[in-house]
Amino acid sequence: MTNGSTPTVLPAGELHGSLGDPLMEVMNFLNEITSRYPEAISFGPGRPYEGLFEVERIGEYLAAYQRHLVEDLGRTPDEVRTLLFQYGRTNGQIHELVARALRNDEGIEAAPESLVVTVGCQEGMFLVLRALFADPSDVLLVPSPCYVGITGAARLLDLSVAHVPEGPQGTDPEVLRRTVAELRAAGKRPRAFYVVPDFANPTGTCMPVEARRRLLELAEEEDLILLEDNPYGFFTRTGTGLPTLKALDERRRVVYLGSFAKTCFPGARVGYVVADQEVEAADGRRTLLADELSKLKGMVTVNTPALSQAVIGGMLLTHDFRLREANKPAADFYQENLAVLLESLERLLPRERREAAGIGWNVPDGGFFLTLTLPVPADNALLEESAREHGVIWTPMNYFYPDSEGGRCQLRLSLSYLTPQQVAEGARRLVGLLERSCL
């Protein structure tokens, strides 16, 4: 910069409103405290455990995908080069492989052309919201508490969001029905409901099969699209798990948001959307919602990186399109962590003692998360004390309430990123905190 020239300063108030929304910075305190207390045991991040990743296998997966292109699909070396290096099909090049895995793992029958391979599940959520929301009266329904990725994406697009309080078994379709009725009475149009039926983030709740069926009926009656997000379904204590909404969906009410972040690895940033709904133009021509999402994706990321698709494709091929089986070691690992956590809490805080103090927790059947309820606010001040004095970090549940109101005396414990030894020691430290603050 030359002397005397004044650099541009942009007033924050002139930037898009989302940038000033506390929602977009909700995780900042957690990230900041994690970096200030690096030695603390952190029940914070919802990341998969890294001990099962192997760097040297990247080359093997890439090679497996290239073999598939040549041997199974008869591609020439020049065509393989094009597929790996050049701009590619907007909706992805591994859609057929993903469709095969979906059939094996979830019993979901999805035509490959109804799939959009996205840059992580996050891009999928973003594209679906952009496609479905057109009118200012359209409202997105989300559970409360809720994963911030969906509310954040909605905020970027200036969408209206309404909250549906969760119960101990996740969303109660009757509560959703009442919210829908209230919105209609207020002149709004409930358009879609975002839901994580299996081991929801942040609560760890799981919807019973009967509630899933009633949710699908309600969607049909109320003309709602269900946005089913399923990152944790494989990680269940009960073996096979419950059928997804999409597997039960007979009327294409469900847009399925898939992720390989937890079942393969997050760094690939590969997710997908099953968007098999038909879209009818004024002239009667029909397309798939996936085709419409393609137009949007072309203007957001053009296409999902070929290299990432190739590695994930190679993993699907290597595991014979059965990721649930391939994830058995990971599922066992998370289940051990969950068992260690529950057992530690139970041992350190037997029922009588915790009930007298007003402490409790839910007992998820799987997933990455558990909800702990305290008799005192689980706020940033307590988190700071927890990290500094007791060496243990967790996430205030209030972070996940879209209206910033609920969950003031609850916290989320994530057990995916720790070893069983760390979980046990973390539980001990956590109870140390509770002994100081509320026992």
In the set 107, 174, 221, 298, which binds a second copy (CB under 8 A)? 298
Q: How far is the CB of 280 from a second copy (least distance, A)?
A: 5
x-or-dash string of contact with a second copy, 311-340, rule CB under 8 A: x-----------------------------
Q: Please answer whether residues 220 and 233 qualify as being in contact, where contact means their C-beta atoms are separated by less than 8 angstroms.
A: no
Q: Please answer whether residues 24 and 156 qualify as being in contact, where contact means their C-beta atoms are separated by less than 8 angstroms.
A: no
Near a second copy by CB under 8 A, which window of 3-11, 98-106, 375-383, 428-436? 3-11
Under rule CB under 8 A, residue 72 binds a second copy: no
Q: How far is the CB of 133 from a second copy (least distance, A)?
A: 6
**Which residues within the stretch 357-416 sit at the binding site for a second copy (CB under 8 A)?**
none
Residue 321, Cβ neighbours under 10 Å: how many?
18
Q: How far is the CB of 239 from a second copy (least distance, A)?
A: 26
Distance of CA 157 to the CA centre of its chain: 19
Q: Please answer whether residues 139 and 188 qualify as being in contact, where contact means their C-beta atoms are separated by less than 8 angstroms.
A: yes
Under rule CB under 8 A, residue 76 binds a second copy: no
Under rule CB under 8 A, residue 53 binds a second copy: yes
Q: How many residues bind a second copy (CB under 8 A)?
A: 94
**Which is nearer to a second copy, 286 or 351 (by Cβ)?**
286
Residue 350, Cβ neighbours under 10 Å: how many?
10
**Which is nearer to a second copy, 12 or 185 (by Cβ)?**
12
Under rule CB under 8 A, residue 114 binds a second copy: no
∠ CA 232-50-338, nearest 5°, is 50
Q: DSSP per residue over 372-409, as a string?
A: EE-SS---HHHHHHIIIII-EE-EEGGGG-TTS-S-TT
**Which residues within the stretch 128-167 sit at the binding site for a second copy (CB under 8 A)?**
130-135, 149, 152-153, 155-157
- Integer Cα distance of 234 and 222 in angstroms: 30
**Which is nearer to a second copy, 304 or 386 (by Cβ)?**
304
In the set 16, 67, 347, 353, which binds a second copy (CB under 8 A)? 16
Using CB atoms within 10 Å of the CB of residue 387, give its burial: 0 to 12 exposed, 13 to 18 middle, 19+ buried: buried
Q: How far is the CB of 299 from a second copy (least distance, A)?
A: 4
Near a second copy by CB under 8 A, which window of 204-212, 261-269, 327-335, 386-394? 261-269
Under rule CB under 8 A, residue 14 binds a second copy: yes
**Which residues within the stretch 201-240 sit at the binding site for a second copy (CB under 8 A)?**
225
Residue 244, Cβ neighbours under 10 Å: how many?
22
Q: How far is the CB of 134 from a second copy (least distance, A)?
A: 5
Tokens of residue 232, six digits = 């944790």
Q: What is the dihedral of CA 171, 203, 188, 179, to 10 degrees?
A: 40
